[in-house]
Structure 1
Amino acid sequence: MSTATETAGAVAAPTLAVWKFASCDGCRPALLDCRDELLAVAGRVRIDSVPEAAGGVAPGPYDLSLVEGSITTPEDAARIRDVRARSRYLVVLGACGSSDGIQALRNYADVADVADGAFQGRVGAAYPSPLYLSTLKYSAPVRDHVKVDYELRGCPVDRGQLLEVITAFLSGRSPAIPDRSVCHECEARGAACVTVTYGAPCLGPVTQAGCGAICPAFHRGCVGCVGSARQARTEAMALLLLAEGCAPDRLLRTLMPANPANPANPADPGHRAPGLAVARTAADEAAGREREEGRREP
């Protein structure tokens, strides 16, 4: 992409860099999908690092760094600190970087068990050497390692919101991104509440808006792929779903999959640990009742 013409005494164009960490690679291509819209700002910014669009990486410093992915290895942790040190502003893109993403599923397993093949008894075929699993104890959002100036949630991020974030930081203002839950999007499009109408567990109340309530529009509960809302009250939601008759094991499966944030940081506003604790307790109590009833049968 062309840069602003720089003449003697002219002010250099702001620099933009894009970085990848542990992710599915879905958010950075969203930037390339905005190529037509980005032409409007092409003369105002110099892109120093976009792996998919450029062959090299300028050394920096950068005015704005866009970071995709969570931090899962010691190398990731060192690299994100280096990116932070070279960036005036650091913006996290997507659910992986803000709520930990799919790779956080490994936080429910013991890395040592996986390394020695004890996990489900079949890991040895995929990982012939424990060295392939040199990793941090937990996969974690970027904010658990460095200061983050803004988090744009999404899976992948919405192109309109991405353009708004880039334009806002170039203009020196705060991004105008709605800070609300998926429930508001259900109301806006007239979709019925799947929990009230169909009795299905739904993570809409604790998930950041941005997807347009796609799953609830098709009578399916929200799975939280966009990422946790900034104040996710998972404990209250879990208690309400149990009171409405949701089976404890189903609630547990609903809360566990993706974007749980960092288990080592319970103070994280997007953490699902309180809700998971409620679901696990209820599931354990239900299992205990079943065992007791089994012993009473003749």
Structure 2
Amino acid sequence: MRADVDPPAEGARRRLGVFKFASCDGCQLTLLDCEDELLGIAGRLEIAHFTEASSDIGTGPYDLSLVEGSVSTPEHLERVRRVRDASRHLVTIGACATAGGVQALRNHADAADYLQVVYARPDYIDTLATSTPISDHVPVDFELRGCPIDRGQLLEVITAFLAGRKPGIPDHSVCFACKRRGNVCVLVAHGTPCLGPVTHAGCGALCPTYGRGCYGCFGPAGTTHLPALVPVLRRDGMSEDDIGRFLHTFNVSDFTAVEEEDLP
């Protein structure tokens, strides 16, 4: 929390800012999908800055800022610091903001080579060599994972903020959600490659419920133990390259960090 940003007056509505960096807008749209629930808390929450929803843009300070997207350009470096300075609480939402997103695949290649291939005039493009999470550049009060984030978890974060408590977001794996839904384990029963044992819960085990393996949309869980999972993926026919691609999708930076720490 920023001590230099004055708290709201007694009884005043909290001011919410929603900001976008490099992303697809999916996590902001999750907030817009909370139509009925937002109406229920409208008396306590003023949406002061949310360009996805309104052209009426208010300036800071903000009691709560939700930040979507990764830092991928020089302009982002400057703007993320301004957002942080204007915010009492800053929560990053989605894989791009918490782990660099799909665009963090550039971190393992030469971004300049991509510019030459994709753009007719690469000299017009002003970009950084890497795509990095918001927390690499400014202090973050809470990270909400997912690609996109879960609607229920987002509402929990907002209501927890209004109530002055810590959000009750579990840190267990997708396997717990599978058990609650009564799913047959696709990894054990069918040999389907699945990242559920090492992935943060939040999707409600959507893919395994329909017979598909988890793709790791919510990033590594607190109980992540890749050395136990990788041999199972090899057993089910995945090569080392396949396993690398499996891990390096929505949360490249987070799973790479786990690999470097856990795998020999």
Correspondence 1:149-228 to 2 at 5 A: 149-228=141-220
Residue in structure 1 matched with residue 4 of structure 2 by the alignment: none
Residue in structure 2 matched with residue 292 of structure 1 by the alignment: none
Answer yes or no: is the 8 Å Cα contact 2:90–2:142 preserved in 1.
yes
**2:232 counterpart of 1:248:** no
Residue in structure 1 matched with residue 99 of structure 2 by the alignment: 99
Offset at 1:105? 2.3
Residue in structure 1 matched with residue 255 of structure 2 by the alignment: 271
Answer yes or no: is the 8 Å Cα contact 1:99–1:228 preserved in 2.
no
Offset at 1:244? 6.1
The TM-score, its normalising length taken from structure 1, stands at 0.78
Offset at 1:200? 2.4
SS at match of 2:57: coil
Correspondence 1:58-137 to 2 at 5 A: 58-115=58-115, 117=116, 123=117, 126-137=118-129
In structure 2, what is the Cα distance between the partners aligned to 1:273 and 1:151? 17
SS at match of 1:27: helix
SS at match of 2:255: coil
Answer yes or no: is the 8 Å Cα contact 2:172–2:223 preserved in 1.
no
Answer yes or no: is the 8 Å Cα contact 1:111–1:133 preserved in 2.
no
SS at match of 1:148: coil
Residue in structure 2 matched with residue 31 of structure 1 by the alignment: 31
Structure number with bigger Rg: 1
Residue in structure 1 matched with residue 5 of structure 2 by the alignment: none
In structure 1, what is the Cα distance between the partners aligned to 2:180 and 2:207? 14
**2:8 counterpart of 1:19:** no
In structure 2, what is the Cα distance between the partners aligned to 1:59 and 1:235? 48
Offset at 1:254? 1.3
Correspondence 1:36-55 to 2 at 5 A: 36-55=36-55
Deviates more, 1:65-74 or 1:223-232: 223-232
Query: For residues 274 and 42 of structure 1, do their structure 2 counterparts lie closer, same or farther at Cα, with a shift above 3 Å needed?
Result: closer
In structure 1, what is the Cα distance between the partners aligned to 2:56 and 2:71? 23
Offset at 1:230? 3.9
SS at match of 1:225: coil
In structure 2, what is the Cα distance between the partners aligned to 1:234 and 1:146? 29
Query: For residues 143 and 231 of structure 1, do their structure 2 counterparts lie closer, same or farther at Cα, with a shift above 3 Å needed?
Result: farther
SS at match of 1:185: helix
In structure 2, what is the Cα distance between the partners aligned to 1:132 and 1:259? 28
Offset at 1:84? 0.5
Query: For residues 258 and 66 of structure 1, do their structure 2 counterparts lie closer, same or farther at Cα, with a shift above 3 Å needed?
Result: same
5+ residue gaps in structure 1?
1-8, 118-122, 262-269, 282-298
In structure 2, what is the Cα distance between the partners aligned to 1:150 and 1:43? 24
In structure 2, what is the Cα distance between the partners aligned to 1:240 and 1:275? 16
5+ residue gaps in structure 2?
1-8
Percent identity between matched residues is 54
Structure 1, residues 20-46: CA drift from partner, whole Å, max 9, x if none?
Answer: 111111111111111211122111122
In structure 1, what is the Cα distance between the partners aligned to 2:179 and 2:245? 26
Query: For residues 144 and 239 of structure 1, do their structure 2 counterparts lie closer, same or farther at Cα, with a shift above 3 Å needed?
Result: farther
In structure 1, what is the Cα distance between the partners aligned to 2:62 and 2:176? 36
Offset at 1:56? 3.0
**2:250 counterpart of 1:258:** yes
SS at match of 1:187: helix
- Would you say how many aligned residue pairs link Structure 1 and Structure 2? 256
In structure 1, what is the Cα distance between the partners aligned to 2:188 and 2:125? 43
Query: For residues 274 and 17 of structure 1, do their structure 2 counterparts lie closer, same or farther at Cα, with a shift above 3 Å needed?
Result: closer
The alignment yields a C-alpha RMSD, in angstroms, of 2.4
